[in-house]
Amino acid sequence: MELNTTKTKISLFILIVSSIFWLGGSIYRAIIAYTLFEPFSLIIKSEITYDILRQTLKLIGNVNVYVLISYPIVLISFFIFLKLSQVKLKRDGWLFMISMILLLFFPVEVYLSFLDLDFTYMVLFSNFDTNLALSKLIQRIAALGGLPAIGSLCYFTSIWIAIFQPLKKSV
């Protein structure tokens, strides 16, 4: 695969930067959210006060903004990159694998984005009820079982695939 045009390089740069925001924001949000709960349960820790809980929910809402904006940019820039680079997916199997991961987990991400959007709108643009916001956060964490966690592992595997490029046919 050759990066011979400026447009291809720009789309790749936008893809990488938006992927960093998306995956980094997802990790950051998960770390913040899971510090609220007892290990391996969805029970709030006893030492968490109402004010801490409220501020943490606002922080999760702020992080959601970055994730909600960067995910569509990742998708758009990825498909623009595929189009501009004129890559043949038969020859570059590693890129086909990344494309399939993005395609397979697209419905999961869309569903979770709607949950995140609802939570973020409630937390950032209204004087929210903490119990309702917490229940929406728990609903988001428990949504679709372990599928979001599997998706995250697949996305990080995509980074490895992009670096080492397995299944690449030499011409």
Backbone φ and ψ for 39, nearest 5 degrees, come out as -60, 135
Q: In total, how many domains does the chain have? A: 1
Is residue 36 a part of any domain in this protein? yes
In-domain check, residue 171: no
Report yes or no: 57 and 137 within 8 Å, Cβ to Cβ. Answer: yes
What are phi and psi for residue 113, nearest 5 degrees?
Answer: -65, -35
Rounded to whole angstroms, the Cα distance separating 59 from 22 reads 16
Show the domain range for 145. Answer: 6-164
The answer to the question of residue 169 being in a domain is no
Mean pLDDT of 23-40: 94
Query: In DSSP terms, which residues pair with 44 in a beta bridge?
Result: 37
The model carries a pTM of 0.91
Q: Per the domain annotation, does 127 fall within a domain?
A: yes
pLDDT digits (tens, 9 = 90+) for 44-103: 999 999 999 999 999 999 999 999 999 999 999 999 999 998 888 888 899 999 999 999
Q: Is residue 143 part of a domain?
A: yes
How much of the chain, in percent, has pLDDT values that exceed 70? 98
